[in-house]
Structure 1
């Protein structure tokens, strides 16, 4: 079985294509449920964010796994496979491991080094565990990836070098809207955080990105209002930032009053239409309005950028800005890349060595069976042996077998950690004529143990 990832992200697909494949938690769960009946995929984790949709799997076959993964993503997004295929990337085995470690550490994000992705990877893994489609392979992989992500942020300044989408978005629009009668003109040395102080902001949605936006704005001194379909959820975020919550039905009333609108709801379509913004701007009488749309699909009608006084930034514009700015600090990026290379090497080496363990165990079990059979034969032929002699014979036979097996089993474990280690495992099976079913029985995870692990990690 081998690790496979099939997906698309902001690096391989335009924003409109990412909008088409945006999935909520319920849709992700349905894909995971379908993996139970898959012919080529035995485990799966779906990483679905505003900038990526990836299916990680333990695949029985390479081509069969790709076909099945692509079909699952196509069916559940409702996008024909022929439209998705040009944007898909495929990584296998060591490259798949490397890709996930890059993702978890923030190296593959639109804003390099942003910290939100680590939480999103953790949530993707938790959801897969809850759905019962994680086993030994992906559990080890994702637990390691989460540790790699933490290490990257602990040992480097990648988190400060690469700011979050919220921070980058606010930095791009706040200076423009601050140039009004009520705000001082921003100088080249003025921080956007200084300019936010005293502004009023409406945050639409109550998910993790919206909560981050509300916290960022409040910490910078803005007055925050949260609008959400479920008022209780909005109220919890509002209370944590010293703001207040309103129902979604009152969004139109508040757009005319605030200076900033940040939206990230995960809704299926536009919730801030052109007419709403146009009417609000008439009421504002020339006061500028900054809009930060972090949703996929878009929450805000893109044409509102044509309304005089509106400064709109969305994921497409942020992607262009990141390309122009050149991303995070080069030294931090290189430091994290070095960590990833080291961790990938350690993980793949350990995994190659672990692959031979079932063969070694099966060999030991076969040897034990041979020893027991021979001891039984000796006792049958020499029934008059006293207990002391019998124990000496048993100990001697076992000692001889252990010594004969020690060198080949230790050596095959060492050789198995090399890139061509699988050939040594195969040779061991052939030389000792091991029954493949015995090896498979050892390699098969204990479902009770795996279930316990899922419960502990949930």
Structure 2
């Protein structure tokens, strides 16, 4: 497959832009279907989290793939293509695999080493499977990425270098408003991030734990799971009262607009007792807490923008040896995956070659039967076995060797050579593979005219197998 990754994340775009580009409601599914339906795309998967939006696709045309996917991303996020271009990155083939494996290990996360990304990648794969946009290639790739992520967490101490975004956020809250233990906590939302927040707060020893969600049944289920810690759910209509009775609020909903307005927060802060400020940890994208809350008296807000700044200051300070160990694992796994994919890609061609050889032998034996009708059955059988042995011996060494060579960089050329030298029917190869024969998409050399459908301002991409100079900034790993 020719893997192309196009996206933006906290490393390339400001939080404000990520917030505007956030995909909510049915938008992820619609973008996924649109990407899969694009002419250059064979398969598609989407990874959409609070700090990244990435399309993983199998393409047969590099330029057209980048151009069409970037336009689709702009259309479905509502951010103009001109504004997006400055923040998008592109990874291609081995570099794209390296990027995904690095993401799976938490190396590209806001909080380096966090393990939540594995669940988010699994969600992205599940969505692509449910919508039938991921074929064998992306399924194998994502499954391997999940295995690499698990290996990194098992074989290294990367967990010590990183934390969940929830834990990291609560530490920032504690620095400003005091220990979490003993606080009255309110969790707004009942999704995976909210569930993690509620569990973390319960373990931290909060004195009260209230869950509020628009769908009350989900809040009730989450509260029931934490009943041993005294958690309970209240209707969303009582959010204002719950807000006034809390010392700490963690909000992470999937709402498209503000959930906690400045007016509601002001009213809650005025009704509170105690000298410590009302702490608000907003982990939603787009944000749940009104931006005006940052300037309110008696209120302290920590959101993704705050966390991004804090993460940048602490990046690389701890766990450097573990991070380096994970990078070595990623490099090793990328090499192994690439070799296995290249070797597997030539198998249909080898099978088609052997099938053609068998058909030639069969035809010649039938011709011999017609010319020598006096041969007895035993002689005919011996002749057939002898001819087949000769053909097998002639093909054995070259087919074994070509599989070995195919595992090396540039190995796809060996399959093409076999098809050309032995005049193999592409349809026969396709029948063995169960999918169309796709020549890997080649990024043309600089100066080659781009597709007319490219968005304004794009230059030609780099030479084959590199993306370092593409106008969409290629990112390490």
Q: Under a length normalisation based on structure 2, what TM-score does the superposition of the two structures give?
A: 0.88
| Alignment of 1:209 onto 2:193 | yes
Bigger shift: residues 199-208 or 387-396: 387-396
Contact 2:24 2:256 in 1 (8 A): no
Distance in 2, matches of 1:413 and 1:375, equals 30
More helix by share: 1
- Specify the alignment match of 1:106 in structure 2: 106
Could you tell me how far apart the structure 2 residues matched to 1:23 and 1:37 are? 19
Match of 2:232 in 1: 244
Which 5+ residue runs of structure 2 have no aligned equivalent?
437-477
Find the aligned partners of 1:36 and 1:421 in 2 and give their Cα distance: 27
- Cα distance in 2 for partners of 1:208, 1:159 equals 19
- Report the CA distance between 1:287 and its aligned residue: 3.9
Cα distance in 2 for partners of 1:323, 1:38 equals 37
Of the candidates 295, 298, 303, which is equivalent to residue 306 of structure 1? 295
For 1:407, the equivalent position in structure 2 comes to 397
Cα deviation, 1:404-443, whole Å, max 9, x if unaligned, reads 1111111111111111222222222222122223223323
How far apart are the structure 2 equivalents of 1:115 and 1:320?
20
For residue 163 of structure 2, give the secondary structure of its aligned residue in structure 1. coil
Q: Which residue of 1 aligns with 2:452?
A: none
Q: Does the CA-based 8 Å contact 1:174-1:290 persist in structure 2?
A: no
Please give the root-mean-square deviation of Cα atoms over the aligned residues, in Å: 1.4
Q: Is the 8 A contact 2:277 2:298 kept in 1?
A: yes
CA contact (8 A) 2:219 2:233 kept: yes
Alignment match, 2:411: 421
Structure 2: how far apart are the matches of 1:426 and 1:141? 23
The 3-state SS of whatever aligns with 1:87 is: coil
Q: Distance in 2 between matches of 1:49 and 1:133?
A: 19
Equivalent runs, 1:54-133 vs 2, <5 Å: 54-133=54-133
Q: How does 1:279-290 map to 2 (within 5 A)?
A: 279-285=267-273, 286-290=275-279
Q: How do residues 336-347 of structure 1 correspond to structure 2 at under 5 angstroms?
A: 336-347=326-337
Distance across 2 between alignment mates of 1:132 and 1:384: 59
Q: 1:137 matched to which residue of 2?
A: 137
Q: Are 1:232 and 2:217 an aligned pair?
A: yes
Which deviations, in whole Å up to 9, do the C-alpha atoms of 1:180-236 show, x marking residues without a partner? xxxxxxxxxxxxxxx322211000001110000000000111121110001110111
Give the distance between the partners of 1:7 and 1:77, measured in 2 at CA: 12
Counterpart pick for 2:184 among 192, 196, 200: 200
Q: Secondary structure at the match of 1:356?
A: helix
* Cα separation, 1, equivalents of 2:86 and 2:55: 16
Distance (Å, rounded) in 2 between the aligned partners of 1:197 and 1:284: 18
Q: Helix, strand or coil for the counterpart of 1:369?
A: helix
Aligned to 2:325: 335
Q: Distance in 1 between matches of 2:48 and 2:155?
A: 27
Q: How many Å separate the matches in 2 of 1:388 and 1:25?
A: 73
SS of structure 2 residue aligned to 1:12:
coil
CA contact (8 A) 1:177 1:259 kept: no
Are the counterparts in 2 of residues 136 and 445 from structure 1 also a CA contact under 8 Å?
no
| Deviation, structure 1 residue 30 | 1.4
Q: Would you say the 8 A contact 1:112–1:163 is kept in 2?
A: yes
Measure, in 1, the Cα distance between the counterparts of 2:290 and 2:283.
12
Conservation of the 8 A alpha-carbon contact between 2:25 and 2:254: no
Classify the secondary structure of the residue corresponding to 1:8.
Answer: strand
The residue correspondences of 1:289-438 to structure 2 (distance < 5 A) are: 289-327=278-316, 328-438=318-428
Please tell me whether the aligned partners of residues 35 and 69 of structure 2 are also in contact (alpha carbons under 8 angstroms).
Answer: no
Cα gap change, 1:435 to 1:103, in 2 (>3 Å): same
CA distance in 1, matches of 2:118, 2:360: 51
Distance in 2 (alpha carbons) for counterparts of 1:118 and 1:19: 22
CA distance in structure 2 between the aligned counterparts of 1:311 and 1:418, rounded to whole angstroms:
55
Query: Secondary structure of 2:288's partner?
Result: coil
Write the distance in 1 (CA, Å) between the matches of 2:320 and 2:131: 39
C-alpha distance in 1, partners of 2:377/2:35? 57
Gaps of 5+ in 1: 179-194, 447-458
Residues 36 and 44 of structure 2 are in contact (CA less than 8 Å); yes or no, is this contact kept in structure 1?
Answer: no
Q: CA deviation at 1:36?
A: 4.5
Q: Which residue of structure 2 aligns with residue 182 of structure 1?
A: none
Higher RCO (CA < 8 A, seq sep 6+): 2
1:256-295 equivalences under 5 Å are 256-285=244-273, 286-295=275-284
**Which 10-residue stretch deviates more, 195-204 or 8-17?**
195-204
**Count, aligned residues:** 430
What residue number does 1:454 align with? Answer: none
